[in-house]
Amino acid sequence: MIALLKRTSIRVQMLVAMLIVGIVTLVVVTLQSLHCAHEGVMDMQRETFRLILAQQREHIDSWVESRASILQLIASSPILRDALRQPTASPRLDDYLREVEGPESHLEEVALYNLSGELVASSGGDREARLAPVLLAQLGESIGVAWHLAPYGHRHDDMTVVASSPILGEGGDAAGYLLAMIHVDKAVSDLEERASPGSTMKSYLVNLESGRRLGAVEGGHDHGAVAGALPITAMQEREGLLFHYLDEEKTPVIGMGAMLPRFGWLLVVEMAESEAFAMLRFLLHRAAMSGAGVILLIVLLALGSAKLLGKPLQTMTATCRRVANGSMEQRLGDQPGQEANHLAEAFNTMLDRLQETQRQLVQAGALAAVGELSASVVHEMRNPVNTIQMNLEAMRRKLEDEPKLAELHLLAQRQTLRLQSMLNNLLTFSKPLELRIEEQELRGVVEDALEVCRGMATESGVSIKPHLPESPVVAAVDREQVFRVLINLVENAIHVQPGGGAVEITLSGHLGQAVLEVEDRGPGIPEEMREKIFRPFFTTRADGTGLGLAIVKKIVELHHGSIELSDAGERGGSTFIVRLPRHKGGSV
C-alpha cells in the first residue's frame, strides 16, 4: 500500500479520497432514504389494508345481519305460530316456506321445528328430518338469531351457514324454531366488485377449520385448499400486521388478515409486492439517476479541488528544482489556503537562511583563504616594515637640521606606521579568536574604553556623552574583546566628525540582553552602503583599513550577539546598536 502511494501523485490520492468519501456518503444517504421510503410504503400499505379489512368485515357483517332480520321477520309470522299448535304439519305451510326462500332473501331449505326437534314444515318437503340433540340444545339457549356451522340437511359446504330464530308464543316463550341455510357467496361476490381494476389486490375468506378459500377477487368461488405459504395461524393471532409470503402462484405478496369469529373465517387482503413497492422501485430508479449525476459532480469537484490543493505542492516542487539548479533567489508567492501560505512562508524563510548560510560559508571560505594569505603576507612584510621603521627613526636625528628632508621623513614615518597598523589589523582579523567568557559588569568596560578615546576626541573637538544606568548591567562576555568593540565604534564615530560634534554612548539591559548604543552626529551612511560597511576591506575613509567594523561584527557574533546600524533620527548621524546575551550560552 505504501509503495503504491509513493508511485501515485498527491492529486490522484486526493481525487480518490474525495471520491471514496463522496460515494460512501451518497450510498449511506441513499440507503437511509430508501429505508425510510420502504418504511413509509409499508406504513401506507398497512393503513390501506386495515381500512379495506374494516370496510369488508363491516360489509359482510351488515349483509349477514340483513339476512338475520329477514329470518326474524319470517319467524314472527302468525302462520308459523298457528302451525305449531297443530299436531301435524300442513302442506300449505310447506308452500309458504318455499315462497319465502329465494335468490333475494338468500335463504335455502327453510324449515320449522317444534320444541322437541320434530319437523313441522319444510320448503324441501322433507318430513323425516329431526334436529340433532346438540343443535336442539343450542337452540334452547339462544334468544335471538343464532348461527351454526354444524352440518344441516343434505346440503352443506364452506359457503353455507345455518341461521336459527325462535318462534315466540303468546306468553313470550319459544314455541318452536325456524331454521334456514344461508349461502354467503353473495357477500363474497360483493368483495369482488369492490376490487380496483388493474390491481393485484384481492380479498378472500378462509375457513379456519378446513383451510379452504371461500372466494377471491379474481372470480370464481371454489378455490379448494389454500395454496402457497399463507401464514393463517400468524394472521389469526396477530391481526393488523403485514406478512410477506408466496401465494398459490409462487408470487411474492404482502397480506393482512382479520378474524370473523362468528363463523370461524379469516378475511384476507393481499397484494403483489411488485405493485406494493412500485413507488419504491421508482424512487430507487430516480436515486440511481440522481446518484450518477452526483457522482459526476463529485468527480468534477474532486478534480478541481485536487488541482487547486495540489497546485502549491507543484509550485514548491518546481521552486525546489530551480533552487537545486543554483537559483537561490527563488521564492514562493501567495498560495491558496492558510496552510499553504504558512508552508510558503516557512519555505521562503528556509531559503533565506540557506542563502545567508551559503553567503556566510562563502565569506568564511574567502576569509579563511584571505586569512591564510594575509598571515603569510603579514609575516613576510612585518620584518621589512619594522626595519624601515627603525631606519627612519635612526635617520630622524640626522635630519633635524634639514627642514625639507625632515618633513619628508615625517611623512614616510606616518605612512610606515599606518602600514604597520594595517598589517596588525589584518593579522588580528585573520586569526581565529578564542573568547574567555566571564560574567562582567559592563559599566566599567564602557568607562575604560571612553577614557582611552577621550584624547582623540579632544583633538578632534568631539565631546563624549555617556549614558550609564545606576544599577549594574552584567553580561557573559570576554572583557578585552568587548573593550575592543567599544574602542573601534567610538573611534569611528570620532573620525566621521572631524569638525567637531558629539558621541553618545548608552548602556541598558533589556529582555535578557545587554544593549550598547554608539551614536554620532556625522553625515550618516547612505542606504546603498549599509550592507557593505561590515565587509572586510570596505571603507569610506582615505586612511581607513576597512577591517575595524568587520572585526567588531566578528567579535559580536562570536558572543552570540548582533549588531545593526540605524539612523540617529532628526539630529542626523548614525547609531550602532550592539546586543549581547546576559547569560552564558544565550543567543539573540
How many C-beta atoms surround the C-beta of residue 176 within 10 A?
Answer: 24
Pick the range with the lowest mean pLDDT from 75-79, 157-161, 583-587.
583-587
pLDDT of 190 strictly over 60: no
Q: Which among 542, 538, 548 has a CA at the least distance from the CA of 576?
A: 548
Asked if 518 contacts 496 with a C-beta cutoff of 8 angstroms, the reply is no
Residue 518's pLDDT band (cuts 50, 70, 90): very high
Going 130 to 131 to 134 to 139, the CA torsion angle's sign is negative
* 210-219: average pLDDT: 58
pLDDT of 197 strictly over 50: yes
* 528-537: average pLDDT: 76
How many C-beta atoms surround the C-beta of residue 217 within 10 A?
Answer: 19
Pick the range with the lowest mean pLDDT from 25-29, 266-270, 381-385, 581-585.
381-385
What is the pLDDT at residue 582?
A: 79
Report the C-alpha gap between 490 and 520 in whole angstroms.
Answer: 9
Summarised one tens digit per residue, pLDDT across range 418-474 is: 666 666 666 665 566 678 888 889 999 999 888 888 888 888 888 999 999 988 989
What is the pLDDT at residue 233?
A: 84
Q: Which among 209, 129, 215, 117 has a CA at the least distance from the CA of 164?
A: 117
**DSSP per-residue string spanning 385-417:** HHHHHHHHHHHHHHTTT-HHHHHHHHHHHHHHH
What is the pLDDT at residue 369?
A: 62
What is the pLDDT at residue 156?
A: 47
CA 579 distance to own-chain centroid: 50
What is the pLDDT at residue 128?
A: 59
Grid-cell match 565587509, residue found: 535
* 257-282: average pLDDT: 84
Summarised one tens digit per residue, pLDDT across range 41-51 is: 888 888 989 99
Q: Which among 37, 532, 528, 42 has a CA at the least distance from the CA of 276?
A: 42
Residue 406's pLDDT band (cuts 50, 70, 90): low
State the chain's maximal CA–CA distance in angstroms.
198
Residue 505's pLDDT band (cuts 50, 70, 90): very high
Average pLDDT along the chain: 77
pTM: 0.48
pLDDT of 213 strictly over 70: yes
pLDDT of 154 strictly over 60: no
Q: For residue 288, what is its C-alpha cell?
A: 440511481
What is the pLDDT at residue 221?
A: 40
